[in-house]
Amino acid sequence: MSFRTRFDVGSPFSRRASDLARSQFDAFSRQLPLLYLILVINSVAVAVTHVDSAPAWLAIYVPLAMCSACVIRLLVWLGRRKDLAARTDAELAARLKTMMRLLVVLGVSFTTWGLMLYPYGDPYEQAHVAFYMSITVIGCIFCLMHMRTAALLLTAIVIVPFTIFFLQTNNGVLIAIAINVLLVSIAMIVILLTYYRDFASLVESQTELRAKQAELQMKQAELQAQQVKLQKLSDENVRLANLDSLTGLPNRRRFLSDLEALFQSQTGRPTRFAVGVIDLDGFKQINDLYGHGAGDRVLEEVGQRLQRFLTPAMSLARLGGDEFGLLVTEVPDSQHLLRLGDAICEVLRAPFEWHGITARLSGSIGFATYPKAGRSPAQLFERADYALYFAKENRRGSTTIFSGEHEDTIRELGQIEQALRHADLEREMTLHFQPIVHVVRHHVISYEALARWNSPSLGPVAPSAFIKVAERSDLIHSLSIVLLRKALETMRGWDATTRVSFNLSARDIGSADAIGDIVTLIRQSGVAPARLTFEVTETGVIRNFERAALSLQTLKQLGVRISLDDFGTGYSSLTCIHRLPLDKVKIDRGFLEDIEADTAAQDIVRSILELCRSLKLTCVVEGVETVAQMNILRSLGCTVMQGYYFGPPMPMAEPQPATHEVL
């Protein structure tokens, strides 16, 4: 096999051949100086012993020329050794092939010179020539142990002529030497072949080991790359899991995690920080009027506006829906939170504009501070949420900070909730009825059924308190069913023309199951559905307008009447009137406080009355407490009223007339 064939690339065999050739080259590079040294020393020794017996050209000039060539070649080799190690496989193969030719030339030259020198001198000098040739070839074989082809070729060049030459001398000693050298050379060749095989196997094993190491390193690199990729993917998943996709803000999960971490950092003397919850007032109206796409656009802009307030001491998150959260880590005093909240509320009041549409809303904010308002993440967040609830109920569009008064209210509501959960609703709940009068026809046209609760443990509890607790604790449906059953039982004992209004909560009209129970109860009562009017609040309807509209339509088909209570306090009054199956509208009592002197309030009431007349809806004004209020309302065109002026809510077995004569 030629070196050219060996160094063809592209197959595992060529790779192994290349590694073997390079290993041979490395080993030969280390032994080549020794090879030249053996040739020079042995040749000089023979030449010195034949200086007096052989011609000068043969004893001096020829060995001097050959030894000089060896020295020069050795110097050239040493000078190129580093460059040769960096050459390509093909260049290395060519270089080794040149060395093979050079070894052949050297073998032929030194063998020929030795045989030509033999005839000169005495028997000792002749024996020296034989010794020179034998010891030199053995030394060269050792130097060429890693170059099998070169060693075999050099052995053949020297031993074959040497043996033939000395066998023809008819000298028994020289013949014995020739045979001895031949046998030793054969033994050396066997050793050479065995060593070369082991050397080649070792090189192949090293090559395979390096290949496996390279493969392992490649797999490790691939594994590391995959781990890096997986880590990046994991980091991205974590980022997305903690990010609100719509606004780009941290989400509820991240917010609560940051709150937990903030609590854990409060070692030693705790620092004061605050949790804030922002809720958008009127956002539901935007969704109902313009669609969820518009709602998403508003939420995006709200997120952008809120980010203007971000500082190293404040973080922001979207908690879900139209609710956002704040973490304020540096709170010098309550005024700082109030100023921050007022600034946020002011920014949120600015109009939202897109595609020629302009919408307005506001934001209510509740804050709770650590450690005063709570000593756990859950407690602090709940207190901030309660402060928000208080703001929406009492100061919509403003900021409320959780206080000791709120603490007392929560404690009181907690007691009410516990008592309500253990109450015997059938025995403890009663109904009072307040008349609704027609001031022109001078008679009571219906009664509003109002719940009353006398708790064995708490005593009389205000309806505003226990109704609120029932709505927030999911007890309202059970309460509504008990009270409606009592109202229907009372109506069965009254004249068939007497009508009753009954209040339904937002949770009642927001549940298909609750509406189904109400319909079943009415059908089983034996009371004509037309005698019953269900009152629903405007704010209750807009929580889930589509569900509420479907529930009210179901009740309407049964034959009952529908009244919209507290009209004018919500954000979608016109939407409610236009899209709901209404029979009656009740103007909120808040418009009556200064109606005698407040011309703006008079104009609003007059506008609502005209709207109801155009839509053929009955309009009721509630909260009338004085004759002056009644007279103003009559002058504005109102004919149906309700309030303490006409009679307070009272328990009664039979319908009673109004306590004042209607003038």
**Per the domain annotation, does 407 fall within a domain?**
no
Write down which residue in 352, 368, 402 finishes a domain.
402
Q: Which residue has the higher pLDDT, 355 or 500?
A: 500
| Same-domain status, 631 and 493 | yes
Task: Tally DSSP H helices, then E strands, for the chain.
Answer: 24, 16
**Per the domain annotation, does 648 fall within a domain?**
no
| Same-domain status, 12 and 137 | yes
Q: Note the pLDDT of residue 4.
A: 39
> Mean pLDDT, to the nearest integer, of 156-180?
80
| Same-domain status, 524 and 468 | yes
**Per the domain annotation, does 650 fall within a domain?**
no
Q: How confident is the model at residue 3 (pLDDT cuts 50, 70, 90)?
A: very low
Q: Note the pLDDT of residue 239.
A: 67
Question: What is the domain range of residue 96?
Answer: 3-214
Kindly state the tokens that stand for 247.
């606004």
Q: Note the pLDDT of residue 281.
A: 86
Kindly state the tokens that stand for 545.
């307008």
Distance separating alpha carbons of residues 365 and 362, to the nearest angstrom: 10
Query: How far does CA 285 lie from the centroid of its chain?
Result: 32
**Per the domain annotation, does 173 fall within a domain?**
yes
Q: Within 10 Å of residue 607's Cβ, how many Cβ atoms?
A: 12
CATH of the domain at 576: 3.20.20.450
Q: How confident is the model at residue 271 (pLDDT cuts 50, 70, 90)?
A: confident
Q: Taking 60 as the threshold, does the pLDDT of residue 661 lie above it?
A: no
Q: Taking 90 as the threshold, does the pLDDT of residue 94 lie above it?
A: no
Q: Which residue has the higher pLDDT, 663 or 461?
A: 461
Kindly state the tokens that stand for 648.
């307070």
**Per the domain annotation, does 228 fall within a domain?**
no
**Per the domain annotation, does 219 fall within a domain?**
no
Domains contained in the chain, number: 3
Distance separating alpha carbons of residues 303 and 316, to the nearest angstrom: 9
**Per the domain annotation, does 124 fall within a domain?**
yes
| Same-domain status, 439 and 390 | no
| Same-domain status, 487 and 519 | yes
| Same-domain status, 37 and 181 | yes
Q: Taking 60 as the threshold, does the pLDDT of residue 439 lie above it?
A: yes
> Which residue(s) pair with 564 in the sheet?
536, 585
Distance separating alpha carbons of residues 244 and 140, to the nearest angstrom: 82
Q: How confident is the model at residue 568 (pLDDT cuts 50, 70, 90)?
A: low
Kindly state the tokens that stand for 256.
């609560």
**Per the domain annotation, does 649 fall within a domain?**
no
CATH of the domain at 278: 3.30.70.270
Q: Note the pLDDT of residue 49.
A: 85
Q: Taking 90 as the threshold, does the pLDDT of residue 18 lie above it?
A: no
Tens digit of each residue's pLDDT (9 = 90 or more) over 50-76 = 888 888 888 888 888 888 888 887 787
| Same-domain status, 384 and 426 | no
> Mean pLDDT, to the nearest integer, of 174-202?
76
| Same-domain status, 318 and 448 | no
Q: Note the pLDDT of residue 604.
A: 86
Distance separating alpha carbons of residues 466 and 482, to the nearest angstrom: 14
Closest CA to 461 of 473, 451, 471, 476: 451
Write down which residue in 374, 402, 430 finishes a domain.
402
| Same-domain status, 322 and 361 | yes
> Mean pLDDT, to the nearest integer, of 263-275?
81
Q: How confident is the model at residue 573 (pLDDT cuts 50, 70, 90)?
A: low
> Mean pLDDT, to the nearest integer, of 36-59?
84
Q: Taking 70 as the threshold, does the pLDDT of residue 657 lie above it?
A: no
Q: Which residue has the higher pLDDT, 636 or 121?
A: 636
**Amino acid identity for residue 440 in this structure:** V
Distance separating alpha carbons of residues 93 and 557, to the nearest angstrom: 101
Closest CA to 160 of 181, 131, 139, 144: 181
Q: Taking 70 as the threshold, does the pLDDT of residue 188 lie above it?
A: yes
**Eight-class DSSP state of 50:** T
Closest CA to 258 of 246, 271, 244, 275: 275
Tens digit of each residue's pLDDT (9 = 90 or more) over 95-111 = 777 777 777 787 788 78
Q: Which residue has the higher pLDDT, 407 or 459?
A: 459
Distance separating alpha carbons of residues 559 and 529, to the nearest angstrom: 5
Tens digit of each residue's pLDDT (9 = 90 or more) over 597-621 = 888 888 888 988 998 998 899 999 9
Q: Note the pLDDT of residue 193.
A: 75
Percent of the chain with pLDDT over 70: 88
Of the listed ranges 200-209, 323-332, 365-374, 465-474, the least confidently predicted one is 200-209
| Same-domain status, 611 and 492 | yes
CB 87 within 8 A of CB 95: yes
Q: Taking 70 as the threshold, does the pLDDT of residue 33 lie above it?
A: yes
Write down which residue in 214, 231, 260 finishes a domain.
214
| Same-domain status, 286 and 193 | no
| Same-domain status, 29 and 167 | yes
Distance separating alpha carbons of residues 402 and 380, to the nearest angstrom: 10
Q: Which residue has the higher pLDDT, 282 or 606?
A: 606
> Mean pLDDT, to the nearest integer, of 295-312?
91
Of the listed ranges 163-167, 233-237, 564-568, 626-630, the least confidently predicted one is 233-237
Kindly state the tokens that stand for 294.
């518009």
> Which residue(s) pair with 362 in the sheet?
281
Q: Within 10 Å of residue 246's Cβ, how many Cβ atoms?
A: 14
